[in-house]
Structure 1
Amino acid sequence: MILLQASHIEKQYDGHVVLTDGNIVVQDKERIALLGQNGTGKSTMLRIIVGEEQPDKGTVSVQRSTGIGYVAQFVEADNDLSVYEFTAQTFETIIKMEKQLNDLELQMANPDVYSNTQRFEQIAASYDKLRQQFTDADGYAVEAKVRRVLKGLGFASEIWNSGVKSLSGGQKTRLSLAKLLAQEPDLLILDEPTNYLDTKTLVWLESYLKTYEGAILLVSHDRYFLDAIATGVYELRDGKTQRFNGNYTDYVEQKAEIVELETKHFEAQQQKIAKMEEFVQKNLVRASTTKRAQSRRKMLEKMERLEKPDASVDKLALHFASHRTSGRDVLSVENLSAGYNGIALGNPVNLLVRRGDRLAIVGPNGIGKTTLLKTLVGRQVPVSGHVRWGTKVDLGYYEQEQETLDASKTVLEQIYDEFPQLNLTTVRTALGRFLFRGEDVEKPVSALSGGERSRVALCRLMLSQPNVLVMDEPTNHLDLLAKEVLEDALSEYDGTLIFVSHDRYFMDALATHVLHIDEDGIKLYLGNYTEYIHKRQDEEQWDSDTNDKGTSRTESTQSFAESDSTAKSQRGVLHVDNTSVRSADLRKARETVEILERKISEVEQSLADVSGQLVTASMSADVDSLQQFQQQLSSLEQQHEELLTAWEQGAEELERLTELDRQNRRQK
């Protein structure tokens, strides 16, 4: 069944054409990804679909009774509600019903009420009717839905009562996503949902969306996420959309096949045209063959000429080169504590980074990864400990928000003033490699988008020719093509790389080591992201089997100085330590969740039954029974709460095992 159909959408702003023929169809339970370079109109297409903007031409049709939920790329959730209240807003009617039920229960327990038979019967009848409406609306499951999405999206229960106004911009966007997921609309429309999510939360969101009952339409530049979620892809290019089946990897392969096939057809037609033109040229002047030549010429004139397939698009021309080679020991960190105002954010760090190492730093949001990088490059004073850079180290730092760009300058002035040894032509050529051409170089820095600011920052890094790159979320604001170009450039880079990222494809392509930071401590892993994940899962399985959780979790002294030559030779080579998931463990986890769900359903039915008995006792003015049923109701509500908590824990374990099993199957 088609839930949504956008047909022949056209849109322009002040003469600038954005969409010329946008078409998207979303069927029930489909997961559709809308892909394209930054600025091609993806977000515009979504806003038109949800009715926030009107198309110049074209239509959007939505199946009757289809509920649509939309979270934009940037959200401002400013109000006086708490985190929990904001998320539960979508259930406002049900929550009001629950409060009314509680009020009616208190009234029925009031001696002044139940001694008045007529008044009591009126309240009891209202209670019975409202209780049935509450049950039909699945009211008993509301709390479980809200708690699950808040916990899954990284909102600790300690901040559920905090005001929404106290949250950062990223947290507000994440909270709006939580509210939408709790609502469970028939069609989820998500614009960059992975922004502001750490790796753990990303994995949870993937798992949640895989089992989502409705359909999904999303824009994302996270290739790992797209591979896990998408069942269909629309590419938006030059204002037009083209449909591909499968996930991101399937899309890349299909697109290459289509371009190859179209190229063959084009070349075959060109050969045919050349032969026909040659025949016409040779035979047109001969009396015996003039008619045949004229016929061929008419065929040529009527022939529908194929356009030459053009798979190329404007992309960055990025290349990092070191001005000189650094010493062997690039960075030595001893008992370093990073933080603010003398307060350390985490455990002390000890590291030895050597020339050629590529260190990815991962951990939950707020753990202090950016603070650590700022401390390493000298932007922030350590709380304690020492940072020592090696000999001949030329440092290049890419900051997450590009705070050091001068908003008062143009793009050209920013680079030209920073590199006075370069002439104007060289600077313009360099900016051209980052897609700043013609009048674009005169754009004020203050008016640049996030992607454009990132390109200016990368241009600065390239021109400075450092032999050590320290990068904080370098793929933020970059589209898929720009990410791939950056990966290629860093893969060929002959220097040392230290970076923070939540982009799992990016880490897989580049990292030789992963430094994991969390509340329990710091630990170094040899290998890329996939190897790191498998080793973490090995440890968790070991902890589970031995009931010795926490062992080896607080190691904070790590070194890249590998004494084993075999270990050294494995740097950058994908070698997966397969962690098998026993079918018995997966079955047991699934059965545990199913048992808890059955128990929750039974308790919810008991709650409904006791509520009905409470009404009956109320109508008969049976005070003893009334008190007894109220006690049972309180006991059942407490039991319901405990079962919900156990179910959340069981569901998390099942999601973890299922994801691990999926990864193992994919490796095989």
Structure 2
Amino acid sequence: MDGWNAESDAASLLSQLGVNEDLHYNMMSELDGKTKVRVLIAQSLFGNPDILIMDEPTNELDFETIKWLENFLINYENTVIVVSHDRHFLDTVCTHISDIDFGKITHYTGNYSFWYESSQLALKQRAQQNKKSEEKKKELEEFIARFSANVAKSKQATSRKKMIDKLNIEEIKPSSRRYPGIIFEMDRESGDQILNVNQLLFDEISKPIDFTLNKENKVVLYSKDSKISSKFYEIINGIDTNYSGEFQWGSTISKSYLPLNNDSYFNKNINLIDWLRQWANNDEEREEVFIRGFLGKMIFSGEEALKSCNVLSGGEKVRCILSKMMMERSNFLMLDEPTNHLDLETIQTLNNSLIKFKGNLILTTHDYEFANSVGNRVIEIGTNGIIDKLMTFEDYLSDNKVKLLREEIY
């Protein structure tokens, strides 16, 4: 460590992680939670340690700061051990995956996507009893070749490609992890009128919001201030009435909503079967067998379905809300930070399900892979305006004209 430059190096790290210069000499006790996370990350990076251990480093970070951290770690020469539920971060940074399951650690070559896709292929092959071993071997070799060919050209990715090329197919094993079954079906297709928002104004913003949603729009709703996006959801769901302007849903629209704060759904001392029964629409849906089917898809089977709803973990609550949403069979989904508290298996399955969903949706998430793979339109609401672009999230963040607009709305 260069003692002469230690203070300026520390200041540079803090600034690059989004900690404003006027906070550099504040006490930690004076900082808010998000800023504390950034300071702790700077502390871990400072001094170029031989081994860097990071536990969920992307939590509380915006996309720009995550991108900076990814680039920093890509060029980091020493060992990094990271625990994360951010798949894009894992894919960008990691050369190996260590899977801890049933008390056993298994090491794999490649990033998260390679581990997930290869283990799923191996699982599918295990079920194909009639396929010859030579055919299975060839299928795995072709998968490795395709994945290797698509690897990016960065230094980190090139190193990972060499490892994958040398990989013995015998090392590819089926995953023992359980994936939930998430399928969003619709009772009816929506008409042409979806949602119209006209001059909507509330306390957290200074300029009114106007936009119209069309069929097939899957919107990534984003704001640097999560209070703005959450307030918007509460207003269009009729929960918060403190606003001016108006919004109008199409007459054929049926809605399902996963809120950021779902505590109000779980304040009764009833088991999960009775909890989900509250949203049944007819006698058939009230049957225990019917309800257990939806709970079972979210891995609440057997005795698990009889636990009280007021003792659930954060992830279990989200899985219950997802069971409710599947049972409602709506054609418009709203999800405010759905990946919070979820494990990677559920995140991956939910992501795939929303890609396949035929209706409309509005989604707010800090999971880059989720936003980019699901959304085809981005609406960003700042305190001083709105940006509405028909493009992927990746294109939105990288567009230079959009970057200038984003500076104006905050």
TM-score range, shorter chain: 0.7 to 0.9
The CA distance in 1 between the partners of 2:261 and 2:183, in whole Å, is 22
Number of residue pairs aligned between Structure 1 and Structure 2: 368
Q: Report if the CA contact (8 A) 2:225-2:382 is conserved.
A: no
TM-score, reference length from structure 1: 0.50
Q: Report if the CA contact (8 A) 1:523-1:553 is conserved.
A: no
Partner of 1:156: 20
Q: Report if the CA contact (8 A) 1:346-1:368 is conserved.
A: no
* 1:168–1:178 Cα change, 3 Å: same
Partner of 1:191: 55
The CA distance in 2 between the partners of 1:151 and 1:441, in whole Å, is 48
Q: Report if the CA contact (8 A) 2:383-2:409 is conserved.
A: no
* 1:555–1:389 Cα change, 3 Å: farther
Q: Report if the CA contact (8 A) 1:522-1:553 is conserved.
A: no
Of 325, 338, 345, which residue of structure 1 is paired with 2:205? 345
The CA distance in 2 between the partners of 1:183 and 1:495, in whole Å, is 50
Shift of 1:357: 1.1
Q: Report if the CA contact (8 A) 1:153-1:204 is conserved.
A: yes
The CA distance in 1 between the partners of 2:38 and 2:407, in whole Å, is 29
The CA distance in 2 between the partners of 1:318 and 1:256, in whole Å, is 17
- The alignment partner of 1:489 has SS state of helix
Q: Report if the CA contact (8 A) 2:386-2:409 is conserved.
A: yes
The percent of aligned pairs where both chains have the same amino acid is 27
The CA distance in 1 between the partners of 2:125 and 2:290, in whole Å, is 40
Larger relative contact order (Cα-Cα within 8 Å, sequence gap ≥ 6): 2
The CA distance in 2 between the partners of 1:555 and 1:170, in whole Å, is 21
Partner of 1:387: 247
Q: Report if the CA contact (8 A) 2:221-2:229 is conserved.
A: yes
* 1:520–1:152 Cα change, 3 Å: farther
* 1:366–1:254 Cα change, 3 Å: closer
The CA distance in 1 between the partners of 2:36 and 2:242, in whole Å, is 30
- Residue by residue, what CA displacement relative to the aligned partner does 1:269-306 show, whole Å, maximum 9, x if unpaired? 9xxxxxxxxxxxxxxxxxxxxxxxxxxxxxxxxxxxxx
- The alignment partner of 1:332 has SS state of strand
The CA distance in 1 between the partners of 2:64 and 2:288, in whole Å, is 46
Partner of 1:516: 380
1:378 is aligned to 2:238: yes
1:143 is aligned to 2:4: no
- Residue by residue, what CA displacement relative to the aligned partner does 1:177-196 show, whole Å, maximum 9, x if unpaired? 33323354321211221122
Shift of 1:538: 5.4
Q: Report if the CA contact (8 A) 1:397-1:470 is conserved.
A: yes
The CA distance in 2 between the partners of 1:158 and 1:383, in whole Å, is 35
- The alignment partner of 1:329 has SS state of coil
Partner amino acid, structure 2, of 1:525: K
Partner amino acid, structure 2, of 1:505: E
1:248 is aligned to 2:248: no
Shift of 1:399: 0.9
Partner of 1:526: 390
Partner of 2:358: 494
1:405 is aligned to 2:269: no
The CA distance in 1 between the partners of 2:10 and 2:302, in whole Å, is 51
- Residue by residue, what CA displacement relative to the aligned partner does 1:470-490 show, whole Å, maximum 9, x if unpaired? 110112222222122112222
Shift of 1:384: 3.0
Of 394, 398, 414, which residue of structure 1 is paired with 2:275? 414
- The alignment partner of 1:404 has SS state of helix
- Please report the RMSD computed on the Cα atoms of aligned residues, expressed in angstroms: 3.2
Of 359, 367, 382, which residue of structure 1 is paired with 2:219? 359
Of 371, 374, 380, which residue of structure 2 is paired with 1:507? 371
Q: Report if the CA contact (8 A) 1:336-1:384 is conserved.
A: yes
Q: Report if the CA contact (8 A) 1:367-1:518 is conserved.
A: no
Shift of 1:381: 2.8
Partner amino acid, structure 2, of 1:176: L
Question: Which region of structure 1 is more displaced relative to structure 2, 210-219 or 358-367?
Answer: 358-367
Q: Report if the CA contact (8 A) 1:407-1:444 is conserved.
A: no
Shift of 1:511: 0.9
Partner of 1:210: 74
Q: Report if the CA contact (8 A) 2:14-2:38 is conserved.
A: no
The CA distance in 2 between the partners of 1:361 and 1:254, in whole Å, is 32
The CA distance in 2 between the partners of 1:411 and 1:418, in whole Å, is 12
Shift of 1:552: 9.2
Matches within 5 A, 1:24-103: none
Matches within 5 A, 1:601-640: none
Shift of 1:525: 1.6
The CA distance in 2 between the partners of 1:145 and 1:318, in whole Å, is 47
- Residue by residue, what CA displacement relative to the aligned partner does 1:355-381 show, whole Å, maximum 9, x if unpaired? 321110223245722222222222223
Shift of 1:232: 1.4
Q: Report if the CA contact (8 A) 1:360-1:515 is conserved.
A: yes
Partner amino acid, structure 1, of 2:357: Y
Shift of 1:256: 5.6
The CA distance in 2 between the partners of 1:168 and 1:447, in whole Å, is 29
Partner amino acid, structure 1, of 2:300: F
* 1:315–1:200 Cα change, 3 Å: same
The CA distance in 1 between the partners of 2:14 and 2:221, in whole Å, is 25
The CA distance in 2 between the partners of 1:257 and 1:458, in whole Å, is 26
Q: Report if the CA contact (8 A) 1:345-1:367 is conserved.
A: no
Partner of 1:223: 87
Task: Kindly name which structure, 1 or 2, has the bigger radius of gyration based on alpha carbons.
Answer: 1
The CA distance in 1 between the partners of 2:220 and 2:230, in whole Å, is 12
The CA distance in 2 between the partners of 1:235 and 1:147, in whole Å, is 36
Q: Report if the CA contact (8 A) 2:259-2:335 is conserved.
A: yes
* 1:183–1:438 Cα change, 3 Å: farther
- The alignment partner of 2:335 has SS state of strand
- The alignment partner of 2:194 has SS state of strand
The CA distance in 1 between the partners of 2:279 and 2:329, in whole Å, is 13
- Residue by residue, what CA displacement relative to the aligned partner does 1:11-61 show, whole Å, maximum 9, x if unpaired? xxxxxxxxxxxxxxxxxxxxxxxxxxxxxxxxxxxxxxxxxxxxxxxxxxx
The CA distance in 2 between the partners of 1:327 and 1:408, in whole Å, is 37
Shift of 1:259: 6.0
- Residue by residue, what CA displacement relative to the aligned partner does 1:449-468 show, whole Å, maximum 9, x if unpaired? 22211101101111122221
TM-score, reference length from structure 2: 0.78
Of 96, 103, 110, which residue of structure 2 is paired with 1:239? 103
Q: Report if the CA contact (8 A) 1:337-1:382 is conserved.
A: no
The CA distance in 1 between the partners of 2:179 and 2:125, in whole Å, is 24
* Structure 2 runs not aligned, ≥5 long: 134-172
* 1:257–1:385 Cα change, 3 Å: closer
Q: Report if the CA contact (8 A) 1:230-1:246 is conserved.
A: yes
Partner amino acid, structure 2, of 1:482: T
Shift of 1:500: 0.7
